[in-house]
Structure 1
Amino acid sequence: LFRSQDVTVTTSFAGAAGIVDVAFAVNDGWSGAAVLVLSGGPSPITVPVEVKRGAGSGQIRVPAVRAWSPQDPHLYRLNVRLGGGGTPIDDYPLKVGVRTVEVRGSEIRVNGKPVFLTGFGKHEDFPMHGKGLDLPVLVRDFELLRWIGGNSFRTSHYPYSEEAMMLADEYGFLVIAETPGVSLAFSDPQPVIEARYRQLEQALGELVHRDKNHPCVILWSLANEPILKPFRDPGPAAPDAVEKGTRFFERLFARARSLDRTRPIALVSVQGGPAEWVGQGDVICVNSYNGWYTAPGNLDEVVVKLEKEITALRARHGDKPMFFTEFGADAVAGVHAHPPEMWSEDYQAQLIEAYWRTLRGHPYIVGAHPWAFADFKTAQSIMRVGSLNQKGVFTRDRRPKLAATRLRELWTAKG
């Protein structure tokens, strides 16, 4: 009887109690008695609901609630059952985590407490089969993320599998869920931009409706690295490219906020990207590559340039929390150099550590995600040794590089 993905769960707190609000729709305008059952506590909690013309809603109060968090990812089981008694005529089960997420000043707060996001952007990619879902690899990745001391990841640059979101709920990872809007260029003709908008708005709606009930999802990312013109276009950008992009994202942010008012929303900007675009987000998310694409090979300049970048972002965007969603360097596994040189594990590890220590010196920076979790396959290019992006701190088959052990030391250190 249920329409696909039409149960919406929102959670909040009232003192020590948890509040679980449930709204749902039923096919064909069905009316009748229903019941909400929440289990996973000392005893099941049952709330009767009356469905009228295909719509029902109810609220469950959970005394002494066990809140979902990265430290204790407790999940309750919710059943939405149609029928007034006896055997239900339909039963929709899902797991529910009671938690809140908000931006308050320069902080991201989960359950009212500030969090700092450690982890990575990653890809659904592995040798032999390439891109796609691989359940044993997914478990291995999450175990490695836990081992290294990470608490979060970004679904760069597309929605990941439902299984990944379900498992993240179980592990307690915090997820930045991203649309497939990658490297959108705004020097294109307006009809092309408009067609792209319609496609991305549809993808955004599908993402939010599928993943809205996952407690792991704490932030929606609407795009990754939108640009004025394609990277390899030698010509100038269109004079109205910034304006076109600003209007595009004004519409998309408004649409996202209409779909979900319980989570912050952002887009991920390329280093030096238009402030008018990234500034529309609740969190300022930036990909930054000092020491690699900017001042390549010069570790001495990394911190100087990064500090200038942070200062400029703070001056432009005020008190909004700042999140460095990508930084790093390619490293070919097994290559070492002293002094550190580009493409060596030593250079990658030192660059990432320099970023980490600098970012942690600013209280308004709420996250640091080196790029990337693991090496992944790319097209052939003079920039891609072995047709791989080798910025991973793990190899494509998940062996740790020097940067992985260095990050583990930094992320698991006490105090």
Structure 2
Amino acid sequence: MHTIESKKLGYISKFGFCLLFFTLFSNSSVQSQETKNPRERENFDFNWQFHKGDIAMKLVVRVGQGGITDINVPVISKKDTIIDYTNAESSKALNPPDWKEVNLPHDWVVEGTFVNDNTLGSQPAGSGYLPTGIGFYRKEFEIPETDKGKKISIEFDGIFRNSTVWVNGHLLGNHQSGYTPSNYDLTDVLRYGNEGKNAIMVKVDATQPEGWWYEGAGIYRHVWIIKTDRLHVARFGTYVTTPEITDAKATVIIKTTLKNEYKTAKTITLVSNIVDKKGTVLDTKTSTQSIAPYYPVEISQEGLIQKPKLWSPKTPNLYKVLTEVVENGKVIDTYETTFGVRTFEVNKNGVFLNGNLCPVKGTCNHQDFAGIGVALPDKINYYKLKLLKEVGSNAYRCSHHPPTPELLDMCDSMGIMVLDENRHLSSSEENLRDLETMLYRDRNHPSIFMWSMENEEAIQGTVMGARILETMVETAHRIDPTRKVTAAMNHARNDGGYADVLDVVGYNYGDKQLAYVKDKEAHPDRVMFCTEGTSFVSTRGEYVNSWWPQTCSNSILWQPDWGPYPGEDWADIVKYPYLGGHFVWTGFDYRGEPTPFWWPSVSSQFGFMDVCGFPKDGYYAYKAAWGNEPVVHIF
């Protein structure tokens, strides 16, 4: 789902970032420019304080006792004071020299010193030899008196990881995942106007990993303060689909979930305007309904687009649903949902977009970049996607977790298909909640063509694994019945009934002994897709394989032994179109996994571009295979 409120647009404009490219149209033709949007989404990235290291804290059994989680904390003014942060009393005072000012997104790990320690991370060298640890973020802020009576929440797009949040001394909760967003209702615990200032503190404990690559640590994605009426569209509260599409028209089904957090029942009118990129209203649907107190309700509406412009990589046409919640003639909430009109079908013959065979020319990518770790400014995400488009790629695999939401917005607008991937194979309550969050947050993005439940889990091909996977697949089908579900399998594809619960069987390195060809012969009705392959290692500008200095040749196969030359993998896609396409491991080098080396190598060399996005020789093989122009490259 993609929601852009006026506050966010102001923030983006003020700081000059290129998301303006993706804000394709405004809603000025529907709402007066002079009317203040009743829903506010304020960027909360700036003027934080950061403390690196743990601070011992006792659980406060009576709130209002102060300390660093609240505003009334004693500030130490004596210079050169040394605080013993292993003592729980240390959390009752603030020593300014121990905190530094930071803006978000922020990754503190990338600022650290490399350490030759193979116990770091989940496997030796996996995290790039950088220690993680624990850190605290703290911020003081004010909320005006005029906001009293509104619902106010805070949305963290991503904190790595195991984050705990306090506001004004109140413990609000904990969120384990480093890849899914977290949200807390602040309404009751805020101070408004003359009541005084507010303080928020976030503890981030990144001592345990979630993956086997560089993951960073900190509040590394954007943070938002969201203010609404007490009767409002719920978080991720719209679902827009286009089940019937012809050249003449497209049916648009709009499902909107509203929450009434008043003490009394409310009668509202829901107005849904379908608009094009110019803001022209194409259809308007109106529904009136009474909503009981403290009760969510879903309202379904059906609209039409005449002569729809389809979304595709070549023509990434977008529409919006502009939602208004009206009570007694007054607009009390608004919401925006970007969507596209297109059909995806992944079947035993390949991937079809809008009825046409559309081979996926994709890359797998981790989210870090160059010297900034995982805390990527929006413009760096745009830069990376732009480089991938230039080589001829039309697809992006979010390896191996849900991405930052801005990246999906960009893929929608740039015409890049997405395989959106869940982090863990698990049917625990917590992990199913993370899966549901990914699905609800992302399901309106037209760029997403399929969901991936997991990557290369050890219990693939087992009976227990199949049970867990089936629960996850059923969850995905319930929340989004429009897309098929896969899992990226690198072994045991024919064991334990595991593949049978998938809509599409994902093949990682299925070119080994032509496993996907043999499986197709044995299972002719199996729907297959190449979720990952290649893994050719190379050092930009080097043509010698050497253990010291640690370099990998751009022209000679070496390590690992499972990867072909760049571009050779695409020959199978051409020969066997039922494979649907391919995701190259990887588009860019990334921190960690320095295969085939160990210390002092700290970065992978799998990418056909290096960590800064400069092409290696393999880049040109894909440019020749994926593009329409002749390519000549001299080594």
Normalised by the size of structure 1, how large is the TM-score? 0.83
Q: Following the alignment from structure 1 to structure 2, what is the Cα–Cα distance between the partners of residues 228 and 311? A: 23
Mapping for residues 71-82 of structure 1, pairs under 5 Å: 71-82=314-325
The structure with the largest helix share of the pair is: 1
Q: In structure 2, what is the equivalent of residue 175 of structure 1?
A: 418
Matching residue within 210, 215, 224 for 2:441: 210
Do residues 374 (structure 1) and 604 (structure 2) align?
A: no
Q: Following the alignment from structure 1 to structure 2, what is the Cα–Cα distance between the partners of residues 50 and 112? A: 37
Matching residue within 445, 455, 470 for 1:250: 470
Matching residue within 534, 539, 548 for 1:332: 539
Shift of 1:250: 1.8
Q: Following the alignment from structure 1 to structure 2, what is the Cα–Cα distance between the partners of residues 330 and 10? A: 41
Task: Write the deviation string for residues 379-413 of structure 1: whole angstroms up to 9, x where unpaired.
Answer: 67764571222101100111101111111011003
Shift of 1:264: 0.7
Task: Write the deviation string for residues 103-122 of structure 1: whole angstroms up to 9, x where unpaired.
Answer: 34423222222211002010
- Between 128-137 and 163-172, report the one with greater CA deviation: 128-137
Do residues 281 (structure 1) and 502 (structure 2) align?
A: yes
Do residues 50 (structure 1) and 288 (structure 2) align?
A: yes
Q: In structure 1, what is the equivalent of residue 257 of structure 2?
A: 25
Shift of 1:315: 3.2
Letter in 2 for 1:412: G
Shift of 1:84: 6.4
Mapping for residues 237-386 of structure 1, pairs under 5 Å: 242-273=462-493, 275=495, 276-288=497-509, 305-307=512-514, 309-328=515-534, 329-337=536-544, 343-347=552-556, 351-378=565-592, 383-384=597-598, 386=601
Q: Following the alignment from structure 1 to structure 2, what is the Cα–Cα distance between the partners of residues 157 and 203? A: 14
2:488–2:532 CA contact under 8 A, matched in 1: no
- Between 380-389 and 49-58, report the one with greater CA deviation: 380-389
Q: In structure 1, what is the equivalent of residue 148 of structure 2?
A: none
Q: In structure 2, what is the equivalent of residue 300 of structure 1?
A: none
Q: In structure 2, what is the equivalent of residue 157 of structure 1?
A: 400
Shift of 1:33: 1.4
Matching residue within 339, 347, 365 for 1:96: 339
Q: Can you give the 5+ residue segments of structure 1 that lack an aligned partner in the other structure?
A: 185-192, 230-240, 291-304
- Between 325-334 and 24-33, report the one with greater CA deviation: 24-33
Matching residue within 304, 311, 320 for 1:61: 304
Q: Following the alignment from structure 1 to structure 2, what is the Cα–Cα distance between the partners of residues 14 and 355? A: 35
Do residues 222 (structure 1) and 443 (structure 2) align?
A: no
Shift of 1:142: 1.2
Matching residue within 600, 603, 619 for 1:388: 603
Q: In structure 1, what is the equivalent of residue 241 of structure 2?
A: 10
Q: Following the alignment from structure 1 to structure 2, what is the Cα–Cα distance between the partners of residues 38 and 215? A: 16
2:252–2:303 CA contact under 8 A, matched in 1: yes
Task: Write the deviation string for residues 163-222 of structure 1: whole angstroms up to 9, x where unpaired.
Answer: 0011111011110000112xx5xxxxxxxx7xx633331211010000011111110000
Q: Following the alignment from structure 1 to structure 2, what is the Cα–Cα distance between the partners of residues 260 and 109? A: 19
Letter in 2 for 1:330: V
2:463–2:498 CA contact under 8 A, matched in 1: no
Q: Following the alignment from structure 1 to structure 2, what is the Cα–Cα distance between the partners of residues 381 and 358? A: 25
The 1:137/1:86 distance shift into structure 2, 3 A limit, reads: same
Letter in 2 for 1:124: Q
1:271–1:288 CA contact under 8 A, matched in 2: no
Task: Write the deviation string for residues 224-245 of structure 1: whole angstroms up to 9, x where unpaired.
Answer: 001149xxxxxxxxxxx81211
Matching residue within 271, 274, 277 for 1:38: 274
Q: In structure 2, what is the equivalent of residue 233 of structure 1?
A: none
Q: Following the alignment from structure 2 to structure 1, what is the Cα–Cα distance between the partners of residues 522 and 473? A: 19
The 1:91/1:217 distance shift into structure 2, 3 A limit, reads: same
The 1:137/1:41 distance shift into structure 2, 3 A limit, reads: closer
Q: Following the alignment from structure 2 to structure 1, what is the Cα–Cα distance between the partners of residues 477 and 616? A: 40
- Between 129-138 and 242-251, report the one with greater CA deviation: 129-138
The 1:271/1:6 distance shift into structure 2, 3 A limit, reads: same
Q: In structure 2, what is the equivalent of residue 108 of structure 1?
A: 351
1:242–1:274 CA contact under 8 A, matched in 2: no
1:265–1:282 CA contact under 8 A, matched in 2: yes
Task: Write the deviation string for residues 22-75 of structure 1: whole angstroms up to 9, x where unpaired.
Answer: 011211264321211111178412121223433322111111111111121111
Normalised by the size of structure 2, how large is the TM-score? 0.55
Higher Rg: 2
1:34–1:84 CA contact under 8 A, matched in 2: no
Q: Please provide the CA RMSD for this pair.
A: 2.6
- Between 272-281 and 76-85, report the one with greater CA deviation: 272-281
Q: Following the alignment from structure 1 to structure 2, what is the Cα–Cα distance between the partners of residues 104 and 322? A: 8
1:158–1:178 CA contact under 8 A, matched in 2: yes
Q: Following the alignment from structure 1 to structure 2, what is the Cα–Cα distance between the partners of residues 76 and 41? A: 6
1:148–1:408 CA contact under 8 A, matched in 2: yes
Q: Following the alignment from structure 2 to structure 1, what is the Cα–Cα distance between the partners of residues 484 and 244? A: 18
Mapping for residues 194-205 of structure 1, pairs under 5 Å: 197-205=428-436
Q: Following the alignment from structure 2 to structure 1, what is the Cα–Cα distance between the partners of residues 368 and 288? A: 46
- Between 30-39 and 362-371, report the one with greater CA deviation: 30-39
Shift of 1:159: 0.5
Q: Following the alignment from structure 2 to structure 1, what is the Cα–Cα distance between the partners of residues 363 and 555? A: 19
Q: Following the alignment from structure 2 to structure 1, what is the Cα–Cα distance between the partners of residues 616 and 355? A: 36
Q: Following the alignment from structure 1 to structure 2, what is the Cα–Cα distance between the partners of residues 92 and 363? A: 41
Do residues 411 (structure 1) and 631 (structure 2) align?
A: no
1:267–1:281 CA contact under 8 A, matched in 2: yes
SS for the counterpart of 1:265 is: strand
- Between 49-58 and 324-333, report the one with greater CA deviation: 49-58
Task: Write the deviation string for residues 115-147 of structure 1: whole angstroms up to 9, x where unpaired.
Answer: 110020101101222123331221111111110
Q: Following the alignment from structure 1 to structure 2, what is the Cα–Cα distance between the partners of residues 313 and 91? A: 51
Q: In structure 1, what is the equivalent of residue 364 of structure 2?
A: 121
SS for the counterpart of 1:219 is: strand
Letter in 1 for 2:318: L
Q: Can you give the 5+ residue segments of structure 2 that lack an aligned partner in the other structure?
A: 1-231, 292-296, 546-550, 558-562, 631-635
